[in-house]
């Protein structure tokens, strides 16, 4: 039986960032990924936004890791010449009644350490974005965009440089704690395998609740059961109608249908948010829903052609009517699983936070496991 010091299950942006960090100081780091290539699931089906941290409650992991991750990702992009842009973001109050919400976001952002936020009046917004018609806006200059694939290539290259091994087409189907080590069963390129690892990091995204259940955790009792919340995108054809990211004030499970320019300058609308029971990346929403939402703050959209683009699925701990849920990043030692680290519910801002999550997991490993 092969043996690993650390086995990371899942090679999305989070598993790769964790692998890059843990392999700096540790030999024998294996990443097990069921698909043919890394990053084929949520990490390549998202908006590519580097969030600034205004959307999450004070002291939550989402807030802390987002603010830190934004800085770390931008520094990494600068250092390794990974394309990114700090375009800035406007969160807009379309009606007077929404101004209170902007004020709450400003306060929350400041509580979380986002220091560069600024209110803009109607005319100031119009100067920056002539096609946007709103009462007031909150400007977040540090919000940016990045190409998720490029970021993943970077984390993968770092992990490889440190001798971490990525096993693709390798699906984990069983996990047992045997005398303080973990036996991991699965199928690799059509063949059954078992490896043993001292430490396991569960970075399995949409499958992370299943991995937690495999090792014997009661996911319902612990509140680890994931809900799948889908988001569709459309793309605005032709000339980009905005230069910055433009978001309405958030309502419901997502951040509201917003406008996101990509690095090529083209603009996407979305994602919306609706709960689903199956994983499918087909766009299921209507063009009408998107137009109606966006025309509330950008009437120009009525004259523009929009095309079906793509979709992504959020691994949400929060069910349809539940209050805020934070990321779960937890060493499960007190549940009889010394050396098993769970990462569950890593929805947005998981892309932004990825390098900070890598550091956070590495701190847990060094302080609690590798003593
Ligand atoms: C619509 C949408 C928009 C988003 N926009 C943003 C944004 O703009 N900014 C931002 O910061 N975040 C955003 N996010 C969130 C971000 O994309 C995720 O937080 C991040 O990609 C999660 O990465 P991950 O590595 O945890 O998961 P994933 O990318 O899903 O990776 C998990 C990996 O585990 C593998 N796996 C699962 N089960 C097994 C198994 N049994 N055996 C082996 N491998 C397994 C999967 O194949 C997969 O490759 C968005 C998400 C969605 C859905």
Global confidence as pTM? 0.98
**Of 327, 307, 306, the residue nearest 317 (C-alpha):** 327
For residue range 165-199, what is the model confidence (pLDDT) as tens digits? 999 999 999 999 999 999 999 999 999 999 999 99
For residue range 65-96, what is the model confidence (pLDDT) as tens digits? 999 999 999 999 999 999 999 999 999 999 99
Compute the average pLDDT of residues 276-293: 95
Distance of CA 346 from the midpoint of ligand 1 (Å): 7
**Of 240, 231, 232, the residue nearest 304 (C-alpha):** 240
Please check whether residue 274 is in contact with residue 305, taking contact to mean a CB–CB distance below 8 angstroms: no
Q: Taking the CA of residue 7 as centre, how many other CA atoms within 13 Å lie in the half-sphere pointing to its CB?
A: 26
260, pLDDT greater than 90 = yes
Q: Is residue 203 within 6 Å of ligand 1 at its C-beta? A: yes
Which has more confidence, 225 or 1? 225
Dmax of the chain from CA atoms? 68
As a whole number of angstroms, the distance between CA 41 and CA 12 comes to: 7
238, pLDDT greater than 70 = yes
**Residue 69 structure tokens:** 């991750």
Please check whether residue 13 is in contact with residue 203, taking contact to mean a CB–CB distance below 8 angstroms: no
Distance of CA 42 from the midpoint of ligand 1 (Å): 3
Q: Is residue 270 within 6 Å of ligand 1 at its C-beta? A: no
């Amino acid at each position: 039986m092969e043996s690993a010091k650390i086995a990371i299950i899942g090679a999305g942006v989070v598993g790769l960032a964790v692998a890059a960090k843990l392999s700096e100081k540790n030999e024998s780091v294996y990443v097990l990924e069921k698909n043919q290539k890394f990053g084929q699931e949520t990490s390549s089906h998202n908006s590519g936004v580097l969030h600034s941290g205004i959307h999450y409650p004070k002291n939550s992991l989402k807030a802390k890791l987002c603010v830190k991750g934004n800085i770390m990702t931008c520094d990494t992009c600068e250092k390794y010449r990974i394309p990114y842009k700090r375009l800035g973001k406007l969160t807009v109050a379309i009606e007077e009644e929404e101004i209170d919400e902007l004020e709450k976001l400003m306060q929350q952002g400041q509580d979380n350490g986002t220091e560069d936020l600024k209110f803009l009046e109607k005319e100031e917004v119009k100067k920056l974005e002539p096609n946007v018609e709103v009462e007031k806006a909150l400007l977040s200059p540090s919000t940016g965009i990045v190409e998720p694939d490029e970021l993943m290539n970077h984390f993968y290259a770092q992990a490889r440089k440190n001798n971490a091994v990525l096993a693709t087409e390798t699906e984990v189907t069983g996990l047992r704690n045997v005398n303080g080590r973990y036996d991991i069963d699965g199928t690799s390129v059509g063949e059954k395998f078992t490896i043993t690892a001292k430490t396991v990091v569960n970075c399995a995204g949409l499958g992370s609740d299943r991995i937690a259940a495999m090792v014997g955790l009661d996911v319902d009792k612990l509140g680890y059961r994931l809900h799948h919340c889908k988001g569709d995108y459309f793309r605005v054809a032709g000339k980009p109608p905005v230069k910055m990211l433009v978001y309405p004030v958030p309502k419901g499970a997502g951040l509201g249908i917003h406008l996101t320019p990509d690095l090529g300058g083209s603009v996407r609308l979305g994602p919306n948010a609706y709960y689903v029971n199956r994983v499918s990346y087909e766009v299921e929403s209507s063009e009408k829903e998107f137009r109606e939402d966006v025309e509330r703050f950008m009437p120009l959209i009525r004259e523009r052609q929009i095309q079906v683009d793509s979709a992504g699925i959020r691994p949400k701990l929060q069910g349809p009517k539940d209050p805020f849920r934070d990321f779960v990043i937890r060493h499960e030692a007190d549940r009889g699983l010394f050396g098993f680290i769970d990462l569950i519910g890593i929805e947005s801002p998981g892309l932004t936070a990825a390098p900070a999550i890598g550091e956070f997991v590495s701190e847990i490993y060094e302080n609690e496991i590798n003593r």
